[in-house]
Each structure stands twice: as C-alpha cells, then as structure tokens.
Structure 1
Amino acid sequence: MPTYKDENAKKNPWYFVFYTGEIKNGKRERIKRRGFKTKKAAEAAEAEIRTSINKGDYYEPTKIMFKDFMKEWLKSRHDLSPETVDLYETNLRLYINPVLGEVPLSKINSLHIEQFINSMHEKELGDWSIKRAFSIVNAALNAAVRKDLINKNPSNKVSKPKVRRKVMAVWEPEFAFDFLEQTKGKSRYWIAAYLAIMTGMRQGEILGLRWTDIDFDNKTLHIQQTVTKNRRIKEGAKTQSSVRSVALSTDTIKTLKEHRAIILQERLQYGEEYHNHDLVVCTNFGGPATTRSVYKAWERFIEKCKAPKITFHDLRHTHVSMLIKQGVHMKVISERLGHSSISVTMDIYGHLLPNMQEQAAELIDQLNTKLSGTKE
C-alpha cells in the first residue's frame, strides 16, 4: 500500500500518495492526503478513494467548489424527507451559496464560516433560521471530514449561533374561548384552530388527523400521520414520541361530531368527485388542506375579533398555559404534547409555572397549623 510516515510531523504523521493512471496536461494525475494518526487510517482512506475512482464518483477537494460539493452531498442524503430537501435547497440558494458557494472546499476556513453567519445577521434573519442554515453547513463539513476530503471542520472553531428565548405569546383562557365562539362557522378551517386550542396539537398533526384516528366512545384521538406544507400525507409524526394518544373533553367530542356531519354531507354532495382521505380538516372535495388556506382563515379570524397578533402555533402554547393554570402536572402536559421527555417541556414552558417557592412556604405554614391543632 502507498502509505508513508512523515518522521518530522509532530502529530498525525501518516499519509498516502498514488497515481490514478489519468494523464492531464501531459502529467500523470496524483492523489495525496496527509494528516492521519495511524497507518491503518491512512490505508482505509486510500482504499475508499480508490473505490470512488473505480465507481466514477470521485472528485478532487482542492478543485471542487463548495456549492458543487453541497449539491453532491445533498443528493447522497437519502434519509431526508422531500420537505427537508426543499428546506435545504432553499437555504443553499438564499443564504449559503451566495457567501460560500464559490470557495473551494479545501479552502473553507473559520473566517469564511464567520462571514457566512454575519451575512445572515445582516439580513436580519431570525435565530432559528440562522441556526438551521449553520447546521446544514456544519453537517456537510462533518461529512467532508469523514470522507477525508478535508482534515478538520472549520465550523468547530467559531461560536455556534444561539437561539434566544422569545417572550411566549399566549391568550388568556377567557379570551381564547370567546374567540372560538365568535369565529365558529366562519370558515371550514375553524375546526383546526379549535383543535389547536383544545388539544395542543401541531398544525401538521391537525391537518393529518383522520376520523378513524378518533375514538368517540373513549374520548381519545391517536396521532399517526401528518400533512406537510406541500400537502403530502406523511405517515408518523415529527418525532417517535409525537406518535401518541390525546384525551378529548366532552365538548371537543361534541364539536367533532358536529363537524363530521358537515363532512359526511359533502361526501354525498360531490359523489365520485370527492377524494376521500378520511381527513377531519380537508378541502370541499376531501383533499388535504394547505397550510396557506388555514393561515388565511386564521388571519381573517384575528381581524374579525381584533385579537392580539399571535401565530397559529401559539395556540399550542395557549393550550399549555391553560393546563398549567388548572394545575395539570407537567408530566401529563409533556405526554399530551408528544415531547420526548418532561425536561423538554420544562425548558419550554417552565417559566409559565406559578411561583413554586411561595406556594412551598405557604404549605409549610399550613402543616405547622395542622400539627399545632392536633396537639391542642
């Protein structure tokens, strides 16, 4: 094997070099890689590159531009959903390639990464948008390291973008219920807002809910699929823990039955033209509703009620706030929301809890009074 040890190197002394057999500009093409800790690591990397050359999918990192590497890397990510691929491509087009695209992969350094982060701040992007774009670049560079195309990931030398906690927008229970009363019957998508307030479900979960997922007798629903922004019905939910059961109130069961009567009437009305996906929230012809349609209805509701501006997702927060006010245990709330652990729920909603220190102090006084009474 064409592997060698650089005796003058202070660390990672092993390297390999070999000729590919191709002739360019009258010279034999040579591939050389340095920086391996052991001879075995150098041999493994050399073997992987030879395999790539034989398959015809090898590219030289000193020559390939970062945008071309990103394109190939994204093409190899077979584990991503179509929606995630669209998200990555949008980030590449708008934020990543304009700054990093024309830089050779092998020349990317920490200064380039900092310029990339700064460019997003200059565009006044939100914290989550900046963190997401950075995560895409970071993941791609980690893949480049694993493939021995670069020795180190330059993203590791910069300060990672952080998400600052925003003030959570929630409605008071009285206003939320009044809002539902005022907007009922004003849109076929009213039921989506109702379910968000009454169950805390995510929008995609609400749009993917089927009538067969609802157990009217036992007053529960089962979240087993979602609808994406592209109206694609997707099996499963956001995470494994998001596939869950949610208990329903008596009023919620009654409201769902009223809505089901309307849907059944539409099925009869449109006959063969009706596309029956068994969805609770759907178009007139039974197809998946678009997030845009729900959003437009939501905007009309807000305007009609002159309500404080909050997002549709904030209805999930409103639901949690109402549960906390009623003294529901955080463990139950966590299960209801489909969080992976109670610590996730506490991290997001812990600040909504009442002052537990004050309550604890009062309980001590109550205990003292009780014990004093028994002595008398």
Structure 2
Amino acid sequence: MPVYKNEKAKGDKKWFYQFYTGEIVNGKRKKITKRGFKTKKEAEKAMIEAMAAYQKGEYIEPSKMLFRDYLQDWIKTKRNLGEQTLELYESYMRTHIVPALGHIPLAKLTAHDIEMFLDSLHEKGLSAATMKRIFSVVNAALNAAEMKDLVPKNVANKVEKPQVTRRRELVVWDPDFVSEFLEKTKYASRYWIAVYLAVMTGMRQGEILGLRWSDIDFEKRNLTIQQTVNRHREIKAGAKTKKSVRSVAISPETVEVLKEHRKMIMEERVALGPAYQNNDLVVCTQFGGPVTQRAIQKVWNSFLKKTGAPKITFHDLRHTHASLLIKQGVHIKVISERLGHSSVSITMDTYGHLMPNMQEDAATGLDTIIKTKVSRK
C-alpha cells in the first residue's frame, strides 16, 4: 500500500497516502496525495475510501470541496438525531448557512468568514439564542471535518460564540385561569382536546397528535407515548428521544373527558363507514386522518382571541403543566419523567426558578422533626 510516514512533519500527524489515478495530465501521471494522519492504519483506510470514490466518479479533492457539498454529506451521518432536531438543522443550513458560506471551499473557510456570517445573522434581527444554535451546527460540522482530516483544524474554535444573556422568560397560567380558559373554549373546536391534554399531561404537540386510543389504559389511568405526528402529517414511531417514549398517569377527570371525546369519534367513524381513515388517533380530522400542526395553531390563536387570554404559545401549555405540578409539591424527578426529559438536570435548569421557596420550606420543615427548645436561664 502506498502509505508513507514523514518524520520531518510537525506534530503527531505524520502519515500520508499517495496513489496514481491512471490518468495522464500535461504528460504526467496524475496522483492524489492526502496528509495529516496519526497512524498508518488511518491513512490506509482513508486511501481505500478515496480510491473507491474516485473509481465511482464521486471523489472530490478536499481543497476543492465546497462547504455546501460537505454539509450535505455531513448531515447524512446525523440520522441518530431526533426528527425535529434534524429538520431544524436542515432548515438552518438551507435558510442561513449555505446561502452565506456554501460557496466557500471547505479547506479555505476561515474564522473571519464565520464572524462575518454571525454579523449578517445579527443584522437580520435573529435572536442571540437562534444565532447560537446556528453557530452550533457550523461548529459541529467543522469538528467532524477535523476528525476526518478534511481540514487541519476547526476554524470555528477561534470565533467567539454568540452569548445568550437572558433566557426567554417562561409564561405560565395559574390554576384558576387555566380552569376558566378550558371551560370557555371546550365546545369551540374538535381540537380542544389537544389543548386539554397539553395542560393535563405536559405532552409535546407532536406526541398529542400521535396519541392513539390503543395507547390509553382507562382502567389503570395512564397513557403511553409511542408515536408522534410531524409537521408534514406523517405518523412516526417513537418520540423525540428514548426517554420521550414513556407512560404518563392521567387523572380520573381526564379519563372522563377522553371517553366523552371518544364517543364523538366513534359516531363519525360509523357515519362515514369505509370512507373513514382509521388511524386510531385521539386527535384527528373528521375523516380520521392526522391533524396538521398548522390546524392546531389556528385553533389555538382563535382560543386566545375568543377569551382575551394573555398570548402564550401552545408549547407554553407544557410549561404550565410543569408549573401546576410544582405548585402541588410534586417531586422534580416525577415531573421530569412526565415531561420525558432526558435528565432531571434539564428539568431543574428549565423550571428551577419556579421553585424559589424550596430552600425556605426545607429549612422550616426541619422544625417539625427536630424538637429542640432553646432557652436561656
């Protein structure tokens, strides 16, 4: 194998490969050389891949590969990401990253290019949080390029990351307002049940839209989240993360509300007969099909307008659910499990500020179990 070691090279990446393509260019045999490998084995593996790509006509010299072409290859390796996260990455690439940086060869991308890119995002009026997420995509892609020896180093590491100085304040409703809101909107739309489930279970919108009747155990009063509906109305098995596939206990009243809703669904199913699309969905169109997130948003906006309620997002109902549990003194681990967070630390980081009296309550509670009287003689 034409793999060599350059003892004079700086650092520990001394191995390189070199092979002839079989073509003659300007009277000379064309060869391809790639340097910067830590071990002979790494160099051999990379050379075999490069030779195979060249024979298929898919080989692109690293110095000529455009950043947009690299990103397309890189995103294909990220299939382990959740579907919504993957869609977000692709959206950032399509809308912001590729238009600004895609024309630059990967090997020639500089820290200055990325700094100018961040400035352009700021000029567009994007929030610091959004800029940080977009930068994270660029940084992750370049980290992978460095690991694969496509670039000597990740130039994004030289760029100051966008700082999020203040997280968006969570807007939640108090229990009395939630009760009033649900009562006023109950018969305003068939999709009211989605709002009710968001408040009473803390489920994500995609999880609510994917919930089936077969996922609900009315006797044991719990439901299991096993599938979701994405923004394209596609039913997908699983959930956002492994922890998101979970069981959630439901209240006796929630059981009754669901049974009442099921009666309406069964009547529609009988009326339509063979024309009914039986997806077994709790939240569905009158024909039984999956509901679009846009349809839910439209109904949600109409509810806010009808009641004059403070404007919050549908997702804020999930935060409202968490706040209601906190007010009841439910343990943070239980809240984390209900929400399907990957760790309790995420729950604490998100809702810790809603528990300002926990320290005080803990200290005061000690007096109930330690019966020591202090007196002076």
Aligned equivalent of 1:108:
109
Aligned equivalent of 1:90:
91
From 300, 303, 308, give the equivalent of 1:301: 303
Task: Give distance in 1, aligned partners of 2:8 and 2:149.
Answer: 22
What CA deviation, in whole Å up to 9, does each residue of 1:15-58 have, x standing for no partner? 33332222345543322222233444333332332232234321
C-alpha deviation, 1:135, in angstroms? 3.1
Task: Give distance in 1, aligned partners of 2:205 and 2:259.
Answer: 20
Instruction: Select between 87-96 and 298-307 the one with higher mean Cα deviation.
Output: 87-96
Q: How does 1:1-376 map to 2 (within 5 A)?
A: 1-11=1-11, 12-24=13-25, 26-75=27-76, 79=80, 86-163=87-164, 164-367=166-369, 370-372=371-373
DSSP-derived class of the 1:23 partner: strand
C-alpha deviation, 1:82, in angstroms? 6.9
C-alpha deviation, 1:304, in angstroms? 0.9
Flag the 1:81–1:315 CA change in 2: closer, same or farther, 3 A: closer
What CA deviation, in whole Å up to 9, does each residue of 1:290-315 have, x standing for no partner? 00000000000001111111000000
Instruction: Select between 124-133 and 205-214 the one with higher mean Cα deviation.
Output: 124-133
TM-score under structure 1 length normalisation: 0.91
Amino acid at match of 1:120: L
CA contact (8 A) 1:110 1:155 kept: yes
TM-score under structure 2 length normalisation: 0.91
Task: Give distance in 1, aligned partners of 2:339 and 2:81.
Answer: 24
Instruction: Select between 14-23 and 344-353 the one with higher mean Cα deviation.
Output: 14-23
CA contact (8 A) 1:45 1:148 kept: no
DSSP-derived class of the 2:16 partner: strand
C-alpha deviation, 1:165, in angstroms? 1.9
Instruction: Select between 108-117 and 279-288 the one with higher mean Cα deviation.
Output: 108-117
Report the identity percentage: 59
Amino acid at match of 1:63: K
Task: Give distance in 2, aligned partners of 1:100 and 1:20.
Answer: 31
Task: Give distance in 2, aligned partners of 1:78 and 1:202.
Answer: 21
CA contact (8 A) 1:83 1:230 kept: no
DSSP-derived class of the 1:28 partner: strand
Q: RMSD of the TM alignment (CA)?
A: 2.3
Task: Give distance in 1, aligned partners of 2:318 and 2:81.
Answer: 26
Instruction: Select between 112-121 and 275-284 the one with higher mean Cα deviation.
Output: 112-121
Task: Give distance in 1, aligned partners of 2:77 and 2:318.
Answer: 36
Task: Give distance in 1, aligned partners of 2:158 and 2:35.
Answer: 21
CA contact (8 A) 1:210 1:280 kept: yes
C-alpha deviation, 1:81, in angstroms? 7.1
Amino acid at match of 1:3: V
Task: Give distance in 2, aligned partners of 1:326 and 1:95.
Answer: 44
Task: Give distance in 2, aligned partners of 1:85 and 1:341.
Answer: 21
Instruction: Select between 157-166 and 237-246 the one with higher mean Cα deviation.
Output: 157-166
Q: How many residues align?
A: 372
Task: Give distance in 1, aligned partners of 2:131 and 2:26.
Answer: 43
Amino acid at match of 1:338: G
Amino acid at match of 1:135: S
DSSP-derived class of the 1:285 partner: coil
C-alpha deviation, 1:362, in angstroms? 2.2
Flag the 1:29–1:138 CA change in 2: closer, same or farther, 3 A: farther
Give 5+ residue unaligned stretches, structure 1.
Answer: none
CA contact (8 A) 1:117 1:130 kept: yes
C-alpha deviation, 1:285, in angstroms? 0.4
What CA deviation, in whole Å up to 9, does each residue of 1:103-136 have, x standing for no partner? 1111012222222223222222234433333333
Amino acid at match of 2:184: Q
Flag the 1:197–1:134 CA change in 2: closer, same or farther, 3 A: same
Give 5+ residue unaligned stretches, structure 2.
Answer: none
Task: Give distance in 1, aligned partners of 2:159 and 2:88.
Answer: 24
Task: Give distance in 2, aligned partners of 1:135 and 1:24.
Answer: 41
DSSP-derived class of the 1:139 partner: helix
CA contact (8 A) 2:218 2:255 kept: yes
